[in-house]
Structure 1
Amino acid sequence: MPVESLLLLLLIGGIAGWLAGLLVHGAGQGILLNIVIGVIGAVLGGWLFTQLGVPTAGLIGTLVAATVGAILLLALLRLIAPRKW
């Protein structure tokens, strides 16, 4: 993976994780955890959008899919361990 792609993935992951944290908790989780949640959410959201036939072209589409995936991930984590998330 080229360095530019990796940096873009981390940037989108960080933004998506932060947005998901704001929407679910009212605050982000910290930069590192935001990136981790956002990157995992991006994979989850990309897979889910593909399964549903929803296009995720461009930066905005990718960010939306990543944020939706991160929100779903946080919701799942809250079901499993509600006090930590």
Structure 2
Amino acid sequence: MSEKNKERMEKFVALCDSGKPWYVFLAMFSALLAASALVELFTEQHMKWWTWVLNVTGILGCLQNIRYCKKLKAERAAEAEADAE
């Protein structure tokens, strides 16, 4: 693997470990859930049950991944602090 590709991969992993992409997905699933609720509220059309399940599952998955990234970040900070001592 070339040095340039290695740097890109390290940046990508750092971005994923930061948890920032999960906030984007959380906003997307929340917007879809809100849109589904508004469609049912203002029209006579009813959304299928699996639409609700997918939206809620997506939101819960994002929250779980955000929590995991925060935990990972705290563990790395504790390791770095322990190594510094």
Same fold (TM over 0.5): no
Structure ranking higher in helix proportion: 2
TM-score, normalised to structure 1's length? 0.32
Bigger RCO of structures 1 and 2 (CA < 8 A, at least 6 apart): 2
Question: What's the TM-score once normalised by structure 2's chain length?
Answer: 0.32
